[in-house]
Amino acid sequence: MYPGIKMTDTTYGAKLQRDGRTYAIQTRIPAGVVTPENLETIARVAKEFHIPMIKITSGQRFLLMGVQEQDIAAVRKELGDIGAASITPGVRYVQSCPGISFCKNGTQDSLSLAREISDEYAGKEFPGKIKIGISGCPRCCGESRVRDVGIMGSAKGWTIFFGGHSGFIARQGEQVATGLSSEETRDLVRRLIGYYKTHAQPKERTSRFLDRVGTAWLKPCPSE
């Protein structure tokens, strides 16, 4: 019913909050793009269930905070598709800048690529969280250099980074390839995170994975 959420989890993947009583629910917002209908749904659900705070996260998702435990299943159901956020280890989000569709600086279609990649990995499990950032030009508004998988456009095509991290120990992702088409990019991303899936330890994020296994496997382009 909900990609990536185990049905044995009675809280449907909601996270217990600091008060030890209420929960936070993530939404699924591919590429950070919402429709007026999505916003109306979120507003209606928030009012109906007396949700005290809605926060926009760094991953371009909505976080509904302060949800009562007995309301979790109903809130997810009422949210519909946007309530189907993956919370097991896997691709948590694909953030994107507006890219060539709207931004005057854009050189590549970051929104379309973000939607395609988000759909491809929805609900699939990996050893650890994978955050993906896509930018339509080298100004890198999609934070591509500090995401597990970073994709950055230029006039020559897409540049791919792997192993970036913005947490406790920040790391800029390793540049793996440049000048790729969208199809070549999706193929390389598949092979990069396929290798990671096969060789990483449980809960090992991509940056720690590179610390352990090194970066030699990144070039030439890996196969599982």
For residue 16, the Cα-to-chain-centroid distance in whole angstroms is: 21
The answer to the question of residue 57 lying near ligand SF4 (CB under 6 A) is no
Q: Which residues of 181-210 are buried (b: 16+ CB within 10 A; e: fewer)?
A: ebeebbebbeebbebbbeebeeebbbbbbb
DSSP 108: S
Cβ count near 213 (within 10 Å): 15
Number of residues forming the site for ligand SF4 (CB under 6 A):
12
Binding track over 86-105 against ligand SF4, x by CB under 6 A: -----------xxx---x-x
Out of 140, 149, 160, 192, name the contact with ligand SF4 by CB under 6 A: 140
Determine if 141 is a binding residue for ligand SF4 (CB under 6 A): yes
Instruction: Pinpoint the alpha helices (H) of the chain.
Output: 36-48, 72-79, 110-121, 182-199, 206-213
Q: Within a 10 A sphere around the Cβ of 155, how many other Cβ atoms?
A: 9
Q: Among 30, 106, 127, 128, which residue interacts with ligand SF4 (rule: CB under 6 A)?
A: 106
Q: Taking CB under 6 A as the rule, does residue 32 contact ligand SF4?
A: no
Based on the shown chain and the rule CB under 6 A, indicate whether residue 133 belongs to the binding site for ligand SF4: no
One of 66, 90, 136, 222 touching ligand SF4 (CB under 6 A): 136
Q: Which residues bind to ligand SF4, rule: CB under 6 A?
A: 97-99, 103, 105-106, 135-137, 139-141
